[in-house]
Amino acid sequence: MKKLLKILLYYALFPFIASLAGLALDFCGLASVGLIAMPLLVCAIYILARNKLDTDLAMKTNGWAAIILLVCFTVMMLIVSGNVDSRLMIRFCWLIVPFAPIILGHMLMRQNLLLFATAILTYAAAFAVLAFYEKIRIRKILIPLAAAVVCVGLSTYLYLNRPSVKYGGHGFDYMNGYSSTDFTDYTVYAGHSRLAELDHEPSFTIDNEAEMPVLDGAEACYPLYAAFAKAVYKDIDKIETAALDADERYHNGRIVTFTNTIYGFDRLVLNGADAEKYGSGVDMFFGARPSADQLNMAKEFNVDLEITPIGREAFVFFVEKDNPVDGLTADQLRAVYHGDVTDWSELGGRKQEILAFQRPQNSGSQTMMEYFMGDTSLKEPQTYEMTDAMAGIIRKVAQYANERGALGYSFRYFLEELNQEKGVKMLSVDGVYPSLENIENGTYPLVVDVCLITRKDDPNPNVQKMIDFILSEDGQAIVRKTGYAGAAK
């Protein structure tokens, strides 16, 4: 009984005392400091009290606690594929009850990995200090040490390749996480601008900042409408730089803005009515044709839209470069995405499962995919779990990952000009490759319009003037220089 009490002292009481200090750090906004502070505090307790403790028993208790927790953590990581925030992984907290003071705080802040790492490291550090005083030879702990190294390596690999990273798109912190592409050189204030430019003064300019229509749109269209603004809006680079310097909210721009297809369209329709969620209203939205849901939304809010085709683009399908399949028919693609064809060998490829990725609902490419499928239904998309602070565990559509057998879809400009995906090749459809030439001559079967969408009730007279400019010779020159085909005549 006395020995059991000692084990509880070493396993539970000392970590609990250290966790109280960790809780204080949480309140100060220094939760990550606890990863080092708590192990150091426990080590200090053992060093100061070593003459009054059974250091051999304390060493064994902490050693076994560390290795058992690490093995259990690794097994759990295998089960949840590295998703440390999964509902199942949260049950791991029962094994680290001695750290109760910091458990709730870390979990509310979505710092589960920090929580588990702190617990394991605290026991491991205590073992290391006590082993030093007990003069334990490395040879005696070689097997547990090797197991620990394997567990740490495997857990790290699983975490770095967890579904939310592997299937969540490319996710740049830039532009508040909306962007999956690095637009650093495509902003209107970029030092090394890659925006298309005219070699002469434009036929139309707007000098007054207050009269400049607010722009937003699909991700693939950002370099296009940013180029329009750079050409037409006087000193727009200085205006946006000043706004960003004054308020971090304008990290996505104040006049030349960027959210994405879904939020950008909502901003156009709601026109600032839900500013807390979407920000200010938008005058001009650039992207593919709206989805049926988006059109219904506009109708629900009694908003009449003007849809103006301003360029042409190719909707494309792509695979990894070493896939032997170079092209498919439209019917074959529909069969894959309906679920009738599941193996590449049925399409002239190697014996391999087809991983047919989709895109989030109401995104530009998903809307186009729904148009392409027509009356043929899409099969349920692959999904993965992730934790949202407000919504709890949610499921998200798994986006393209460059895996063996993967098939994805997007727009040609995204793949060729913005290099969103690496190591891929576009497929011919019905025997025609989606080159710019084949888009312009109309032979590629999946040519889509790049659209400019506006409200018919917009009071800004420069909206119509901008439409006229974009359809003019100067505007169409910018469309082509950006990398799109010009609007159909």
Q: How many Å apart are CA 448 and CA 313, to the nearest integer?
A: 5
Give the pLDDT score at 169.
65
Which residue carries 């394991």 as its tokens?
Answer: 120
Considering the domain architecture, whether residues 352 and 385 belong to the same structural domain is answered as yes
Say whether pLDDT at 208 is over 90: yes
- What DSSP state is assigned to residue 271? T
Q: How many Å apart are CA 38 and CA 21, to the nearest integer?
A: 7
Q: Whose CA is closest to 451, among 260, 250, 299, 310? A: 310
Considering the domain architecture, whether residues 357 and 297 belong to the same structural domain is answered as no
pLDDT in tens, 371-383: 899 999 999 888 7
Under 8 Å between Cβ of 445 and 430: yes
Considering the domain architecture, whether residues 108 and 12 belong to the same structural domain is answered as yes
Mean pLDDT of the chain: 86
Please report which residue ranges of 189-291 form alpha helices under DSSP H: 222-232, 236-246, 261-270, 275-278
Domain that holds residue 141: 2-166
Q: How many Å apart are CA 71 and CA 75, to the nearest integer?
A: 6
Q: How many Å apart are CA 246 and CA 72, to the nearest integer?
A: 49
CA 13 to chain centre: 41
Residue 187 in domain: no
pLDDT top residue among 124 and 391 = 124
Considering the domain architecture, whether residues 9 and 135 belong to the same structural domain is answered as yes
Residue 22 in domain: yes
> SS3 sequence, 17-67?
HHHHHHHHHHHCCCHHHHHHHHHHHHHHHHHHHHHHCCHHHHHHHHHHHHH
- State how far the alpha carbon of 464 is from the alpha carbons of 28, 283, 284, 461, 471, in Å: 53, 10, 10, 6, 11
Say whether pLDDT at 290 is over 90: no
Give the pLDDT score at 390.
39
- What DSSP state is assigned to residue 123? H
Considering the domain architecture, whether residues 12 and 130 belong to the same structural domain is answered as yes
Under 8 Å between Cβ of 256 and 229: yes
Considering the domain architecture, whether residues 205 and 341 belong to the same structural domain is answered as no
Confidence of residue 489 (pLDDT cuts 50, 70, 90): confident
Considering the domain architecture, whether residues 78 and 222 belong to the same structural domain is answered as no
Under 8 Å between Cβ of 338 and 377: yes
Instruction: Report the CATH number that the domain containing residue 381 is assigned in CATH.
Output: 3.40.190.10
> Which amino acid belongs to residue 333?
L
Q: What is the model's pTM?
A: 0.71
- What DSSP state is assigned to residue 11? I
If one counts the domains in the chain, the total is 3
Average pLDDT of the residues in 21-36:
83
